[in-house]
Amino acid sequence: MNTPRTLLINARIFTNGGLQNMQMLFDENEILKIAPKIESDENTTVVDAGGMAVLPGLVDTHVHLREPGFEAKETIATGSRAAAAGGFTTIFAMPNLRPCPSSVQTMNPYLEKIKTDAIVRVIPFGTITDDEAGKTPTDYHALKELGIRWFSDDGVGVASGDVMQAAMKAAVKEDVLFSCHTEDMNYRAPGASVHEGPYAKAHGWIGITSACETAQLARDLEYAREIPVRYHADHLSAKESVQAIRDAKADGVDCSAEVTAHHLLLEDKDVENAMGKMNPPVREHADRMALIEGLEDGTIDFIANDHAPHTMEEKSRSMDKAPFGIVALETAFGLLYTEFVDRQKRWSLGQLLDWMAKKPAIRFGLERTGELKEGYRPDFFIADLDANIAIDPDSFESMGKNTPFAGWNSRVQVRQTWVNGTPVWTRKDTCEYGR
């Protein structure tokens, strides 16, 4: 009876498919009640949400936190603050680190560091192959003992078909999920930086063909027809990849796919300099439309954003020398809401939240996550959905300021983010809740 509880009042809570004037009672473990009026007692702290929207904490299955190994770009502390500032309460951290978390010896200290430094729920991937070297499948069983059930070699594809098939067979045995960056380097020339096409040619930039992604994806999906691995395709960029996933799903393959906010918002002609250089690259109009339609018809399961911080020195290099990637945690939800919900009125808020919270949680096997309802985790964010702000990289919590979206308008301002029923982040220049 003495567990401290919080009662959130004066809130427009997203529950049962819409924003509703509701109150929400929760403790640190679960949402106890959502109703128009809830009585409080002496164990209950009442928090006024100021009439703002209260949305389920977002889930991103594709984030680069850069620590250990690349702390000049981002750390677990700064990256998890960026997540909270963008409304994300659960993020999966990619394992292309130094050292890679490929073994119990490297995973344990990494998990410890996450425990001390992260302000949102950070779940690390293990690698598909040892040290992402593409030679030997990782010992999934050993890492599963530590609670790791998700594996990726993100940053590179698994080049050898033999190694990939052996890895898939081992993954089936352990019932773990593969999240795959597919990229066949036979299709990528040195210095290639943007989508291969007339726009790249006009700028003298070396292009990356769609086949670079689709060829290896098609190979993996062929294997997955025989080996029933739980297969997830990372950051689809090409229309041919969307079709490959659609065909595999029609054949009953246990596959899913994600798309990033930038592939939904940008095309190759929008790339001005290395700030718009990412891997896979943003492609042509027909590709972007295929990604949007693939998301809408369920071929693509959800949105994940490939937050990839780099230093400004790195990103100010020439197109062929700058590293791939842009930051995304603090812009993804706001930009997608602004373009597709507010401006185009093409999506409902519910669709966007399904793709950014509910569906990734389900596919990645997270319990009680991704929705606001009784019994679920009290993970949510309070946001102004009628804001009118310009994206300002200098205001980011992320150490990475590398975004092509500087100056873009956003109708969303995240005010405060709660994890496990506790406020973990509050925007500095707004009033504070939860006092």
Report the residue number, 8 or 300, with the smaller CB distance to Zn ion.
300
Report the residue number, 154 or 384, with the smaller CB distance to Zn ion.
154
* Cα distances (Å, whole numbers) of residue 245 to 27, 150, 154, 324: 41, 20, 19, 25
CB 310 within 8 A of CB 402: yes
Does 213 participate in binding Zn ion (rule CB under 5 A)? no
Report the residue number, 77 or 94, with the smaller CB distance to Zn ion.
94
CB of 180: closest distance to Zn ion in angstroms? 9
Which backbone phi and psi does 247 adopt, to 5 degrees? -65, -45
CB of 181: closest distance to Zn ion in angstroms? 4
Rounded-to-integer distance, Cα 216 and Cα 163, Å:
13
* Cα distances (Å, whole numbers) of residue 394 to 120, 270, 391: 22, 22, 9
Task: Find the radius of gyration of the CA atoms of the chain.
Answer: 21
CB of 2: closest distance to Zn ion in angstroms? 47
CB of 389: closest distance to Zn ion in angstroms? 29
Report the residue number, 181 or 263, with the smaller CB distance to Zn ion.
181
CB of 350: closest distance to Zn ion in angstroms? 28
Q: Cis link prior to 280 (omega < 30° from 0)?
A: yes
- Active-site choice (153, 154, 234, 306): 306
Please, which residues have CB within 8 angstroms of residue 200's CB and are 6 or more apart in sequence?
Answer: 194, 206, 207, 268
Question: What is the bridge-based pairing of β-strands 413-419 and 422-426?
Answer: antiparallel
Active site residue 306: yes
CB of 212: closest distance to Zn ion in angstroms? 12
CB of 63: closest distance to Zn ion in angstroms? 11
Count of positions on this chain that bind Zn ion (CB under 5 A):
2
111-170: which residues touch Zn ion (CB under 5 A)?
154
Please, which residues have CB within 8 angstroms of residue 391's CB and are 6 or more apart in sequence?
Answer: 331, 334, 335, 403, 405, 406, 407, 408, 409, 410
CB 56 within 8 A of CB 371: yes
x-or-dash string of contact with Zn ion, 171-200, rule CB under 5 A: ----------x-------------------
Report the residue number, 84 or 208, with the smaller CB distance to Zn ion.
208
Tokens of 238: 């090409």
- Our CA dihedral for 147, 153, 155, 157, rounded to 10 degrees, sits at -160
Cα torsion angle, 223, 229, 235, 236, sign: positive
Report the residue number, 264 or 341, with the smaller CB distance to Zn ion.
264
Look at residue 46 and give its three-state secondary structure. strand
Report the residue number, 168 or 308, with the smaller CB distance to Zn ion.
308
Q: Nearest-CB residue to Zn ion?
A: 181
Q: Which residues are catalytic?
A: 306
Using CB under 5 A as the criterion, which residues of the chain lie in contact with Zn ion when the complex forms? 154, 181
